[in-house]
Amino acid sequence: MTAGAAGAAPGQAPVTVVGLGLMGAALAGAFVTRGHPTTVWNRSPGKDGPLVERGATSAATPAEAFTAAPLAVLCVKDHEAVREILRQAGEALSGRVLVDLTTGTSEDALRTAREAEGFGARYLDGAILATPDAIGLPDTAILYSGPTALFTEHEATLAALGGSPLHLGATEGLASLYDVALLGAMWSSLNGVLHATALVGSEGVGADAFAPFAGMLFQAMGVFVTRYAEQIAAGDFTADDSTVRTHLAGVAHLVRESAVRGVDGTLPGHLRSVLTEVAARGHAEDSYASVVEYFRKPAL
């Protein structure tokens, strides 16, 4: 084991970070900055040098890494890699708390949790809603799910990674479910903006000139997210702004404009298909929130 030069702050809980990619290195760096005695390990050697220079300790093996601290944060390429690391560590996991910030599905998290428990470890699922440069900042959101008492026990330590750690509940895999759901919303939204950018670009409008208008739209979107969430929760899709039929007419304009401008129409074409199906199911005069029924019960 190779020790770094800097000392840890008195009273700060020791932690281990497994995985030193861009995100893992940022997580380890945040713990070091807050004065936590930090042990690091990465499958491919050589990535721990900058962290060791800042005061982290380099472990030679997964077993050595896990035995160095009662709490270990994992952030590697996928859950299969996590489980392989756990198998390498074996009995060294007994009594440890594993916080898994590796991206994956809720099913991945549940399977990894069971394997961790088989080695005598306790498990928290997590999801990072930020890029590496935001780790440790006050507004950075990181989601966790798993046993409430376990989260509460380590909440103060996890706060080093940014903001106020958000515990979603005791259901394992819930953090990963939120993560993939929010990523889906992000990609769908970005695709819409990029399609719009291509559309106005056909008239010579620069992306930088259009961006402020897209930003204005996203600021206004929060109102619709809240309004539609209330309607979905109540199961009442009474239109109080515009109906699915009205939106469908607007989407028809988008489809035609895309065709005229030589911009790929796959995205608006799919949107038209979705709204057409929703209207056919009896929601033509309901609010846009009723589209949730399409995704709950997609067309065969």
Q: Contact 16/66 with Cβ under 8 angstroms? A: yes
What pTM was computed for the model? Answer: 0.91
Q: Contact 71/15 with Cβ under 8 angstroms? A: yes
Angle subtended at Cα 296 by Cα 290 and Cα 242, rounded to the nearest 5 degrees: 10
Q: Can you give the three-state secondary structure of 19-52, one letter per residue? A: CCCHHHHHHHHHHHHCCCCEEEECCCCCCCHHHH
The pLDDT profile of the chain, 300 residues, written as one tens digit per residue, is 554 444 566 679 999 999 999 999 999 999 999 999 999 999 988 899 999 999 999 999 999 999 999 999 999 999 999 999 999 999 999 999 999 999 999 999 999 999 999 999 999 999 999 999 999 999 999 999 999 999 999 999 999 998 889 999 999 899 999 999 999 999 999 999 999 999 999 999 999 999 999 999 998 999 999 999 999 999 999 999 999 999 999 999 999 999 999 999 999 999 999 999 999 999 999 999 999 999 998 765
Q: Contact 51/2 with Cβ under 8 angstroms? A: no
- The sign one gets for the Cα dihedral 263, 269, 275, 276 is positive
User: Would you tell me how many other CB atoms lie within 10 Å of the CB of residue 148?
Assistant: 12
| Block residue for tokens 């990894």 | 112
108-127 per-position pLDDT tens digit? 999 999 999 999 999 999 99
Residue 298 has which token pair? 């997609």
| Start-to-end Cα distance in the chain | 57
pLDDT of residue 7: 53
Q: Go through 268-283 and write b for each residue having 16 or more CB atoms within 10 A of its CB, e for each that does not.
A: beebbebbbebbeeeb
